[in-house]
Amino acid sequence: MIATGMTVQPTPGRAKEARPAGSEPEIAVIGGSGFYEFLADAQDVDIATPYGHPSAPIAVGKVAGRQVAFLPRHGRRHEFPPHRVNYRANLWALRSLGVRRVLAPCAVGSLQDGLGPGDLAVPDQLVDRTSGRVQTYMDEGAAHVAFADPYCPALRESLRAADETIASPATMVVIEGPRFSTRAESQWYAAQGWSLVNMTGHPEAVLARELALCYAAVALVTDRDAGVTSGESVSQEEVFAEFGRGLDRLRNLLSTVIESLPVKRQGCDCAHALDGMDLPFTLP
């Protein structure tokens, strides 16, 4: 990859738009390092935002003939644990490049017997059980974004249409991490009827909504969370290994979806999420 050397200097409360020469990626993927092979002819773009630097330079390249941005959520060497990811900088940087639609593959544990390792799910609901994370751009004033339905319905439908085996609807509970759940916690989540457990889905989804982005998660089940079945538990080794086995399937799914997406956003109201609001910032 070639570093462009471009840096955007932030101005308090405002953002200057920056885009790589001849390239305006409208679609982005936020995922793991295994997605670098996903892009053809990729170049790196360095962006500084009013909220600091994103997890890594953003790679911009081609997928199915379309310009796509890729950002490794945890950094290129997985240096940022889930509670230390700069989610605000990540989403702001993507929008600054021209991104308006975000696909977010992630690893999850299963809380229900019908979902097992290797299965894919597209959640339609989110439950926040994190603590201490900065989860908004609304640092002053009165601006309250609707979040009853956290994910873009148009992106969700595109994902479901690309693979009929995908489980949906599904509720994903997001925990603080980096530790896995206790058995009692896992049993409680399952008893609520929630389907998946994850560590990165919040505040990523709400920040995307506050920037009027379309956003959808696609979850790869890597394990059965502790407590779903007596005696079972989860380990980092197991999670990483199962996610690696599912990478090709995820990449193929996302390629199909990206190729199928209409040129302009349609079938959702995500672009109008901020209509009528007095924002404490200027959108990039």
Tokens of 214: 């379309």
Residue 53 sits in the same domain as residue 178: no
Residue 172 sits in the same domain as residue 117: yes
User: DSSP character for 253?
Assistant: H
Instruction: Specify the pLDDT at position 248.
Output: 86
Instruction: Specify the pLDDT at position 272.
Output: 96
What is the secondary structure of 118-154 as a DSSP string?
T-EE--SEEEEE--S----S--SS------SS-S-HH
In a domain? residue 56: yes
What residues contact 96, with CB distance under 8 A and at least 6 apart?
Answer: 8, 15, 16, 17, 18, 19, 47, 49, 284
Instruction: Specify the pLDDT at position 135.
Output: 96
Distance CA 150, CA 176 (A): 18
Q: Is 195 left (phi over 0), alpha (psi -120 to 50) or beta?
A: alpha
Instruction: Specify the pLDDT at position 225.
Output: 80
Residue 230 sits in the same domain as residue 159: yes
In a domain? residue 176: yes
What residues contact 104, with CB distance under 8 A and at least 6 apart?
Answer: 29, 30, 31, 201, 204, 205, 215, 216, 217, 218
Residue 94 sits in the same domain as residue 146: no
Residue 113 sits in the same domain as residue 237: yes
Residue 118 sits in the same domain as residue 219: yes
Instruction: Specify the pLDDT at position 35.
Output: 73
Residue 1 sits in the same domain as residue 113: no
Distance CA 215, CA 145 (A): 15
User: Residues 106, 33: contact at Cβ < 8 Å?
Assistant: no
Alpha carbon dihedral 211, 207, 194, 226, in 10-degree steps, equals 150
Q: What is the CATH number of the domain that holds 229?
A: 3.40.50.1580
Residue 198 sits in the same domain as residue 223: yes
Distance CA 65, CA 54 (A): 26
Residue 92 sits in the same domain as residue 186: no
In a domain? residue 250: no
Query: pTM of the predicted model, to two decimals?
Result: 0.88
Residue 95 sits in the same domain as residue 109: no
Instruction: Specify the pLDDT at position 247.
Output: 81
* CA 242 from centroid of its chain's CA atoms: 19
Q: Last residue of some domain: 38, 70, 99?
A: 99
Domain with 147 in it? 105-245
User: Nearest to residue 244, comparing CAs of 68, 28, 76, 33?
Assistant: 33
Q: What is the pLDDT along the chain (284 residues), one digit of tens a residue?
A: 323 333 333 333 333 334 444 458 999 999 876 676 788 888 999 999 999 999 999 999 999 999 999 999 999 988 999 999 999 999 999 999 999 999 999 999 999 988 989 999 999 999 999 999 999 999 998 889 999 999 999 999 999 999 999 999 999 999 999 999 998 999 999 999 999 999 999 999 999 999 999 999 999 998 888 665 656 667 777 777 777 776 888 899 999 999 999 999 999 999 999 999 999 999 99
* CA 273 from centroid of its chain's CA atoms: 18
Instruction: Specify the pLDDT at position 37.
Output: 73
Looking at the structure of the chain, the number of domains it has is 2
In a domain? residue 268: no
Q: Last residue of some domain: 42, 74, 99?
A: 99
Residue 163 sits in the same domain as residue 223: yes
In a domain? residue 274: no
Residue 109 sits in the same domain as residue 191: yes
User: Residues 121, 108: contact at Cβ < 8 Å?
Assistant: yes
In a domain? residue 256: no
User: Nearest to residue 93, comparing CAs of 61, 40, 57, 138?
Assistant: 57
Q: Which residues have a catalytic role annotated?
A: 223, 225
In a domain? residue 13: yes
In a domain? residue 254: no
Q: Last residue of some domain: 79, 99, 119?
A: 99
